[in-house]
Every structure is written in structure tokens, then in C-alpha cells.
Chain A
Amino acid sequence: MSKPERGLGWGGLPPPGHHGALGRDPVKLQAFMRDAVEVRLAPGMAEALRHAAAGLGLALPGMGESAGTGSATGAVTTLGLAPGEWLALARPEEPGAFARRIASGLEAAASVVETGHGLACFSVSGRAAREVLAKGCRLDLHPAVFTSSTAARTVIAQIPVTLWRKDEAGAADSPVFALAVPLTFAQSFAHFLLGASAGTGAEILPASKD
């Protein structure tokens, strides 16, 4: 029996190349893959969770307080999505390995539920990224409001989206937005991205595991 290889789980963006209008600074569109777990704090275990997370080298932004912040520590990006609730993302590993590592590290302090295969991830980057996303995203993506450490869940093109910044520091002029949507909506979301970026033009990059 051959070794199982994780696939995107959907058809993917069109083949790499230029899409839409010419003559403007095009955005870059890319599909990518992540392993992911949802971490939920167990009642009364905040201190234990803080301790266990520190042991794992896992940053839990806005611990127990609010949603809306993201933080990347080493290979793991952690987004605070609701009080006591986080989404931790990492590059794909052996099936189940990431979830097992986080779950065993956090033990009873939190529940850890694997959700990464259910996410289709996209990055939209470049000078016109905000203009493109504004054609569906109701959030204020102004660099002073949606900073490089902001994360949010919202709805774009009738599709639930988890949104965060994936750029290197100081890239306000040319941000990299990452968007994770439920896998089964991926094709429709790709349609939205292609439509929204047609006016500025887009460069489609090959799907990536990075």
C-alpha cells in the first residue's frame, strides 16, 4: 500500500499565471495547506493552560480575554478567535501528529480538536490586497486597524472566513493576508477571489505547503 499523501481536498486555483486586468500592480494569489487544531480552555484551568502552553512554546494571544489577535511562535501561528478559544496552525506533518503533540502537551487544561483538513487557506498579497478584499470583506483592513497581529473571523461572499496577516514585519505597504475558509466552500471562495482581483489583475502562484 502506498503512503498516504495529503491533497488540497479541492480543485485549486487556476494554473499559475496572470489573471484579469493588465497594467496595474497585480495582487498575488496562492492556495496553501495547514494542519490546525482548535484549542478550548477547560473551565477553571486558565493557569494550567498558560503553564502548559509555555511548555509547548505555544503563544495564546488574548488569553481568556478577547478575540482578534494572532501571534506566530516559530512554526506555529496561533489566532485568538473567542475568549478561551484559539486556532493553532502549522505546516502539514504526518497525519495526526500536530494534533497529538498539542493535545498531549495541554492535557486536561484544554480540549484540542483537529480541524486543519477542513480548511482551505489562501494568501492575498501586494499593494492592492486591501482593495481586492474590500470587495467582499466587511472588516476595516486599514493598516492602523487590522495590524500584523490582528486575527478575525468574519463572512466574505457569504462564506465564513478566518482572516489574519501573514506578512513579515513592516510590510504595511504590501501586506500578506491569509484567509482560511471551510474546505467545501473553497471553490466558491476561489471564484470570489478571482472576481475581486480581476480589476487590479492577479498573479496566481502554485499551491504551497509553506
Chain B
Amino acid sequence: MSPHRIAGRDQGAPIRFSFDGEAIEGRAGDTLASALMASGVRLMGRSFKLHRPRGVVTAGPEEPSALVTVVRPGRRDVNLPATMVELFDGLEAHSQNRWPRLDLDLMSVTGRLGSLFSAGFYYKTFMGPQGAWERLYEPLIRRAAGLGHASTEADPDSYEIVHAHCEVLVIGSGLAGLSAARAAGEAGRRVIVLEQDRAFGGGALVDGALESWRSSTLAALSAMPEVRMLYRTTAVGAYGHGVVAALERVADHLPEPEPFQPRQRLYVIRARRIVLATGAVERLVALANNDVPGVMLATAARAYVNRHGAAPGRSAVFFVNNDEAYAAVRDLKAAGIAIAAVVDPREPTPIAAEAEAAGLPVLFGHEVTAVRGRRSVAGVRVRKRGTMQERAIACDLLGLSGGYSPQTQLAAQAQLGTAWIEAIAGFAAIGPSPDAEAFSAMIPAGAAAGVFGRLEAARHGAAAGARAAGLASDPAQPPAEAREPAVPPRRDGPIMPLWEVRGRGKAFVDLQNDVTADDMRQAAREGYRHVEHAKRYTTHGMGTDQGRTGGLVGAAVLAAAQGREVSAVGLSKPRPFVTPVSFGALAGAETGAHFKPERRLPLHGWHEAHGAVFVRIGLWLRPLVYSGGDTSWGPVVAEARAVRSGVGITDVSSLGKIDVRGRDAAAFLDRIYANGFSSLSVGKARYGLMLREDGIVFDDGTTSRLAEDHFIVTTTTGKATEALEHMEFHAQCVWPELDVRLANIADHWAQFAIAGPRSRAVLSRIVAGLDLSNEGFPFMAAGEAIIAGVPGRIFRISFSGELAYEVAVPAGHAAFVWDAIMAAGEPDGIRPYGLDALNLMRIEKGHVAGSELNGQTTAADLGLGRMLKKKGDFIGRALAGRPALAAADRLQLVGLHPVNKARRLRNGAHLVSAGEPKRSQGYLTAACMTSEGPHDWIGLALLEGGHGRHGERMIATSPVHDEAIEVEIASPHRLDPENARVKA
């Protein structure tokens, strides 16, 4: 057995792992920190800025120093506290921030030059010349400072987000937490308990006197079906309204996740009440060289001895300012570790005096002034307080205890508030105040609330649990004795606030960020008086540990430098997350192609089988062209020509479709649209333009009247969701007096456009119950019909500029009807056309689409100004009339073509005049090859005062393509401006 294992302690099965390439054997139940400790490894990393040798300081997530990288096949996790890395067979861990090796770190020269690297060093030193920061200073600093290097490979693991609900959420499973859970569980409440450790019990895990209580309480809880216990799960943020996020490390203790299981799971928990039982974290004391490996918090030393049977040293000095820490001293002594001295700055308290009487060498009224040793503690210097005479005591372990800081981060996030408690020299969660109650639903309990002592914390927790369960807040009967730990009441003497012992050498207040007490004083001198300012200037309290062990110590030094009380200076605001969370866990399953859901047309399978190239627009996957993968203009032009010369069919099912009914449906649409609909006859369709209240065009589409009180509104694909919400909002909130009932029918109806001079002939073969002749069903007619045996609707509307119909049938019949139309159209050479051909034809026709309805254009800009009603109110009426929206130099819709017709035009190219080549006067919104000439290009553009500039020549310039093409401005309505074709 390793000499660093404590004889007689239960030992788990051997587990093999490696650290910086060296094969080491640990034991089941070990953390990486305890396994390294038990094999005699002390040096675990180099510090962030100064490259000083560092070892393990704590036994939990508050670890500031022992940060490692864990490497698995395809995976590389950095900046993990060795205290939280559970050992598994084959674990490969590496130290960080050293070069070339941990024991020979050439960068440690920065540590020797340490006095240079004081607060604000980077800001002050690396100034000018211009550009030097990006090119020179930052790359240099990044090489010298920093922690682990993340993987650049894709993460092979999966993550999931789970939504949970409970009546009582208990955060923490120590004495207070388990007692609260039991009280709430016995009241029949749905309870969730979160524990960040791999075992439940908190402080009870390191206190042998509590083991029987711990196991009986856990047994009782496990018998309650509505109590859910989650371990390896850290509450990482509290968001008010009872919402807490918690991260479960499902597989971080395994070589890789089990099949079909995530690596981590993020719980979003909605709780009616929350018991905050997060306990307290021991504080360090700022003194010279308090970062040398072998300086450790007293409770951490106790945890390694009691939980892992690992010896943190052979000969220990303790420097403690409170009675609580004497439990650690006793347990180390019992484990056979020599106690060289207990340095206690206080007068004897009963507990301390008992310890002395039991044979411990206690030096009352003394303090440790410095730690000796470089890579490992070799001893300490001790003096009587108020004197200058020091003496050296040899040891290899310094157990520090500067008191205990309640873990109040989540309370602060939930706006619960904290208060300074003199008895513990710290801030504890208080409340809740009635105002906070409405927001946080949180009740602090145990050490988090400043209640120390085992029995006291258990009782406080039980009361909080009962209160959270909605039972009487002050139970007349204390909890039954069987539910309480069999330990005596607390009789600790007072703590002596002790933040710093001034001496020669670096006295750290933040080990992770290499922030010293001198840095805090310097910040104060330079005017960073507020703790938030000082934090940002010095980086005190940042990083993976968020300053848990030294946050208050640094604040106290800052306070002293300003002659203020630490209670007045306070702690910086702890924002989520309180411990690091991987991006993977936040994303859950919504990654890569599944970042957003995808919408597929009901005929997606048909399009796919017929060579469609799909394009994703918004959420939709739509056929761009049916070419089997060819994305050149050839197939697009061929599709458009087929329509213009014969007949084509395209799937427009993605359009928004809203069923509008009610006595006031027409009056409602009159107000929603800028043009009128009450004048529309039953059986007719009309193009409608919606404005926003500010007068800008919002959306357009065709609306048909099927009955006096029944309309079908179509919106563009892109604005379908917004347009429906816009209409619902106005129906419910602005004009609630109108009888109008809206239904979203977008997905019920599949809709196809059949376009081209042969479209009537084709449809006539399969439509029953409707006279499709030009007289019987003229342009802009709408009606119901039986299409290929399926009841549906037909609208004679056209986006292509040709004779065209849109056919709507219930989506479950879409394939059947589409196939029937294709069969009926076979003699006429019908072919499907995609979005590119659709777009090509609308550009030729001069119809506007999404790139012209861009949230900046008015109806007048688009040449649609005459559509606005002269009489009656409508959304956008008043503000559309503002003079600036009628200015002559506004960007207005024009058509254009290159002077050399075969020159390719580009969307987004800017229009400039030859005389003023650097001033953009507008830009192309659409461009395509036409269906007419062999290789002719045309485009649409928004151009300053464009309506009056037809015939003018300009330059379409695209500097990124190094192009400047001469173009001629023209009317956007290039094809059939008399609109004869659609009426044929």
C-alpha cells in the first residue's frame, strides 16, 4: 500500500489511470485529486498567470488550483477540478498551463517577475502602437497565460435537456437538505433533491458520527415514491418564478457514455418552493505563499482522510480561527497524521481548550505569517500576534481555516438577498421578504442561511422543508428524535474574523487568477472602490471556482484598504452559471441540422423522387429546381419556358393560409389590409397589401371570399406566422367588438399552382362541379370544386404572369391529386417547376416578393401606392402619409437589365452612377436569367427616385466580386404589362 494511504481505512478495488503520462493506481471511490494525493503527487498544475506550482486546496467544485485536462478518445475536457473528476479505469489526465513539463515549467519565470504582473498590468503595459494589441501583445499573452486547450474536434457525445416539475426542490443534501427533503416528503409533496457530489450527505459524508443518521434518512427518502434524488447534479442557476437549472454529469465518471445515454443532462426544474441548502465553503487566509502545494483547507484535509483514506501529509500545522476546524484536526490525528501545531489567533474557547487538554499542541494568540517551501510545504513561520518574533515549524501540510462562507449564489440570483452575520463573519441568505417571495419562492436553510452546527442545521432544514411543503411555518412539535442526528447541540465559541496576515511574499486572495492581497490594495488605491469594479480590474472572483474560497477574503482586504467594513463592501453579484456548464448541455438535442425543426411539404417525397434540389428557406425545405443536382441556370430556364409555352405545376403549399369567418370578417379585413375587401364579391379573389402601423409594407397575398362571412387569406411563406399573430392580436386586443374568428389552415390544405397557356385544358380534364371557361371562371375567380374526385378549392390567380390556377386539396390527398394532374397534363408536356423558376417568372412580371418586402419599403416605393384606400381606417393609414415616406429620393422599385444582355447580374450589387462611383444609390434585390433570350439577364432593384429614372444607365457594382456592370433602368413590369395573358 502506498505510504500516502491511511492504514485500516476501507479501500476500494484498484483502478489504473495516468497523469501526465505516468501510470498510477488509485482506488474505486477516488477522485483524481484523492488518487494523486494517495500516490504522493502534490504538484498538480501551474497557476494561470504566474505559473506558480499548485496542488489541491479543496475537496469539491470550489477547487481553485488543481485544474486538469481529461482526454478520452475523440474527447478533451479542460479546466476540470481534479476534486470533481471521478476515477475510472484508463482515465488519462494532464496538467495545464506548463511548458514543457509540469515539474520544469520554463514559463515560471513570470512568477519570478511577479511584482511586474500586478493588477492592471496588461492594460497599462501593452499600449500602442496602433494594431500592436491584435498582432503582437494578445498572441503573446495567450501563449503565456491561460488554462487548458479545448478540443477542436466535433463533440462525439449527446446531451439532453429534461423538463421537471416539483412542489419542493431541495438544493443540497447535507444535514439541512436531507432534513428538508424528509419533512416535505413525509408531507406527501413531490420533491426533487439535487446533490452535486457523487453521494448524498454533504458534510455528513466526512463526519463518522453522522453516518447512521445519513443512511437511515436516505433509506426513508428512497421509500417515498414522490421524492426524486439526483446526484452528480449541480444547480447552476436560479431564474426566479421557481425555475432552477441543474446539470447532471451522467457519464463524466465513465470512459464513455453508455449506449443511447447522454454525457450530461440539463434539468430545467419548475418548483413551487425551493429549499436552498447549499451549505458553506471554507475560506482561506491571505498570508505569504499560501499557494504552495500542501496548503489546504482544513475541511478538505478531513475529507481526504475520512472519505478516501488518503493522507494529505505526514506532519500538519493547522491555522484556524474557529472551533469547527478542530474536528478536522482531531480526525487527522486519529488517522495517524502528526499534528505539529494548531495555530489559533483567539483566546482559548472551551472546544479549543479541550483539544489542548487532549494533547494537541495549540498555540493560542498566534498566527502563521508565511509558508516555507516552493514546490511543497516545508514548514511555516509562526509568531505571537502583536509581536515581531517569528519561529519556524517544520511540516508538510498547512490546514487553513478562515471561517465558512454560506453558498448564497443561487439566493442572490433569485433576488432573495443576503445579510452579514457577525457570528460567522460572513454573508448568509436571508428571507424571503414578501417581494422576493413572489419571485424566488426560495427558503434558505442550514449553513446557507448561516445556521451552523449539526443538530441546528438539521432542525433548520426540517423546518424549511415543512414550510416549503406548506405546513405550519413554525411547527409546534420539533421533528421526532429519530429523524435527527444523534449529536449534541453546537457549543462552538466565537470565530475571530481573520482575513490576512501581512508578511513578505505573495498572499493570494484568488488562487485561480493569481490575485494577491496587494493587488486588491492597488485596485483600491487606483480608485476601483466598488467590489464589482475591483473584480473586473483584478479578475478577483472570476474563473471556474468563481472565487468561492477567497472571494470574501479579497473583499475584506479591499474594505480594509478603504477603511470600510467588509459587510459594507460586499461580494460581487454571482450570475449564472455558478459552476461551468458545457455548451453541449445547453444545446441539448438541438444541434447541427436539428438546431431548428424543419418543415416539409406534404409532397416532399414526390419532389425528392423526381430530382428536386431542395433549398432551406426559413424552416421550409422547398424544391428549388428539378434537375437531379444540376444547379446551373439551364434547368431553371427550361422549367420557366415550359410554363410560358405550355403548362407547369409547382407546389405552393408553404403559403400561409388563414380561414376568416364571422359577421364582421369583411370589416376586419378592410382594417387589416390597406386595400378594401368588403367590396369583394363572393366567389372572387383579390390581391391584398398589409401594412404595419408605421406605414411600411408588412405582407401581401391573395384573399378570396367564399361566402359573405367567410374568407380565405393567404400570406407569404416567410411571414405566415407573424401575419397570423398580427391578425389575432388586432382581432382580440384592438377591435374585440368585431365578430371575427381566425383559424390556421396552412397545413390542412396542400396547394399547387398550375400555370401556362395550357393550364385550363389540363385542369378541365379532372375538375368536376366548376365551369372553368374564361366566362364561367374568369381571372381572379375563386370557388369550390371536385378535383380528381377530391373536394377542394380553385383560385384563378397568377404569380407567373401566365394563365394560371391554384388548386387546394386536403394534404392527405395531395399526392393523389398531384399525380392526377401530372397524368392529365401529360399530353401537354406538363412539368414541375421549382422555386427558382417561380422566382424567375415573377421577376419577369415585376411582382414583389420577400426581398422587396424587406421591412423598409412603402406601398408607394413598390409602385403600389394607388392600392391604399382613400376612405376608411386601416393599419398604417395615418403613418403611411408622413411626408418623409413620400420623399422623391426614396428607394423605389425598378427593373433593369445589363447593357450587354449576357452579363451576369448579382443580388445585392449596388447601383452607382459613373460620375459618383462610391455613392450607392440603391441595390439589386433580385436577378435571374430570363426565359426569353438565350442567355439574357434581368433584375429588380430599389433605386433612389427610381420611378422617374427609367431609361437611365448606371453601374451595378459588386466590389467583393470585383465587378462593375453597365445596366439600364426600366419598368419592373417587363412581361405582358397589359396583363393580357392572365386574362386569356
**A residues in contact (CB < 8 Å) with B:** 1, 3-11, 20-21, 33, 38, 40, 42-43, 92, 95-96, 111, 113-119, 134-140, 142, 145, 157-159, 182-189, 191-192, 195-196, 198-199, 201
Q: With the chains together, A10 CA to B606 CA distance in Å?
A: 10
Contact B748 A10 (CB under 8 A): no
Looking at the assembled complex, report how far the CB atom of A199 sits from the nearest CB atom of chain B, in whole angstroms.
Answer: 5
Contact B599 A4 (CB under 8 A): no
Chain B residues near A136: list those with CB within 8 A. 161, 163
Interface of A is mostly: loop
Interface of B is mostly: mixed
Q: With the chains together, A192 CA to B591 CA distance in Å?
A: 12
**A-B CB contact pairs (8 Å), 13 listed:** A4-B816, A8-B812, A11-B604, A21-B260, A38-B743, A113-B659, A116-B748, A145-B165, A157-B589, A157-B590, A158-B597, A184-B601, A187-B604
Looking at the assembled complex, report how far the CB atom of B432 sits from the nearest CB atom of chain A, in whole angstroms.
Answer: 23
Contact B747 A96 (CB under 8 A): no
Contact A183 B739 (CB under 8 A): no
Contact B745 A113 (CB under 8 A): yes
Q: With the chains together, A136 CA to B600 CA distance in Å?
A: 21
Chain B residues near A188: list those with CB within 8 A. 594, 597-599
Given contacts A6-B813, A191-B594, 6 further A-B contacts (CB under 8 A): A4-B813, A10-B600, A95-B810, A113-B745, A157-B590, A185-B597
The listed residue (A114, A139, A198, A201) touching B748 by CB distance below 8 A is: A114
Chain A residues near B749: list those with CB within 8 A. 117-118
- Of B460-468, B787-795, B904-912, which binds chain A? B787-795
Q: With the chains together, A20 CA to B260 CA distance in Å?
A: 6
Contact A137 B812 (CB under 8 A): no
B426 within 8 A of A: no
Looking at the assembled complex, report how far the CB atom of B734 sits from the nearest CB atom of chain A, in whole angstroms.
Answer: 17
Contact B260 A199 (CB under 8 A): yes
The listed residue (B165, B270, B598, B813) touching A95 by CB distance below 8 A is: B813
Looking at the assembled complex, report how far the CB atom of B260 sits from the nearest CB atom of chain A, in whole angstroms.
Answer: 4
Contact B811 A9 (CB under 8 A): yes
Return the CB mask of B736-747 against A: 1 if under 8 Å, else 0: 000101011111
Looking at the assembled complex, report how far the CB atom of A186 sits from the nearest CB atom of chain B, in whole angstroms.
Answer: 8
Contact B810 A117 (CB under 8 A): yes
Return the CB mask of B590-616 against A: 1 if under 8 Å, else 0: 100010111111101100000000000
Chain B residues near A198: list those with CB within 8 A. 260
Chain B residues near A142: list those with CB within 8 A. 165, 190
Are A115 and B816 CB-contacts (below 8 A) given A42-B739, A134-B164?
Answer: no
Looking at the assembled complex, report how far the CB atom of A21 sits from the nearest CB atom of chain B, in whole angstroms.
Answer: 4
Are A114 and B810 CB-contacts (below 8 A) given A4-B788, A199-B260?
Answer: yes
B900 within 8 A of A: no
Looking at the assembled complex, report how far the CB atom of B453 sits from the nearest CB atom of chain A, in whole angstroms.
Answer: 37
Q: With the chains together, A25 CA to B743 CA distance in Å?
A: 40
Contact A4 B790 (CB under 8 A): yes
The listed residue (A6, A7, A96, A134) touching B791 by CB distance below 8 A is: A96
Chain A residues near B812: list those with CB within 8 A. 6-9, 33, 92, 117
Return the CB mask of B23-51 against A: 1 if under 8 Å, else 0: 00000000000000000000000000000
Looking at the assembled complex, report how far the CB atom of B801 sits from the nearest CB atom of chain A, in whole angstroms.
Answer: 28
Q: With the chains together, A139 CA to B816 CA distance in Å?
A: 38
Are A157 and B597 CB-contacts (below 8 A) given A4-B788, A118-B811?
Answer: yes
Chain B residues near A117: list those with CB within 8 A. 747-749, 810-813
Looking at the assembled complex, report how far the CB atom of A145 sits from the nearest CB atom of chain B, in whole angstroms.
Answer: 8
Q: With the chains together, A196 CA to B790 CA distance in Å?
A: 37
Leading 3 A-B pairs by shortest Cβ distance: A118-B747, A118-B748, A188-B597
Q: With the chains together, A187 CA to B260 CA distance in Å?
A: 21
Looking at the assembled complex, report how far the CB atom of A119 sits from the nearest CB atom of chain B, in whole angstroms.
Answer: 7
Contact A158 B813 (CB under 8 A): no
B160 within 8 A of A: yes
- Which residues from 318 to 368 on chain B have a C-beta closer than 8 Å to any C-beta of chain A? none
Question: For residue A38, which residue of chain B has the nearest CB?
Answer: B743
Return the CB mask of B135-169 against A: 1 if under 8 Å, else 0: 00000000000000000000000001111110000
Chain A residues near B162: list those with CB within 8 A. 134-135
Chain A residues near B190: list those with CB within 8 A. 142
B820 within 8 A of A: yes
Chain B residues near A189: list those with CB within 8 A. 597
B661 within 8 A of A: yes
Chain B residues near A192: list those with CB within 8 A. 589
B769 within 8 A of A: no
The listed residue (A3, A115, A137, A187) touching B745 by CB distance below 8 A is: A115
Chain A residues near B594: list those with CB within 8 A. 188, 191
Looking at the assembled complex, report how far the CB atom of B239 sits from the nearest CB atom of chain A, in whole angstroms.
Answer: 14
Q: With the chains together, A5 CA to B662 CA distance in Å?
A: 33
Contact B747 A135 (CB under 8 A): no
Contact B790 A95 (CB under 8 A): yes
Q: With the chains together, A161 CA to B261 CA distance in Å?
A: 26
B259 within 8 A of A: yes
Question: For residue A94, which residue of chain B has the nearest CB?
Answer: B791
Contact B602 A9 (CB under 8 A): yes
Contact A111 B661 (CB under 8 A): yes
Contact A113 B661 (CB under 8 A): yes
Looking at the assembled complex, report how far the CB atom of B890 sits from the nearest CB atom of chain A, in whole angstroms.
Answer: 37
Looking at the assembled complex, report how far the CB atom of B27 sits from the nearest CB atom of chain A, in whole angstroms.
Answer: 29
Chain A residues near B268: list those with CB within 8 A. 138
Chain B residues near A8: list those with CB within 8 A. 812
The listed residue (B164, B165, B743, B814) touching A40 by CB distance below 8 A is: B743
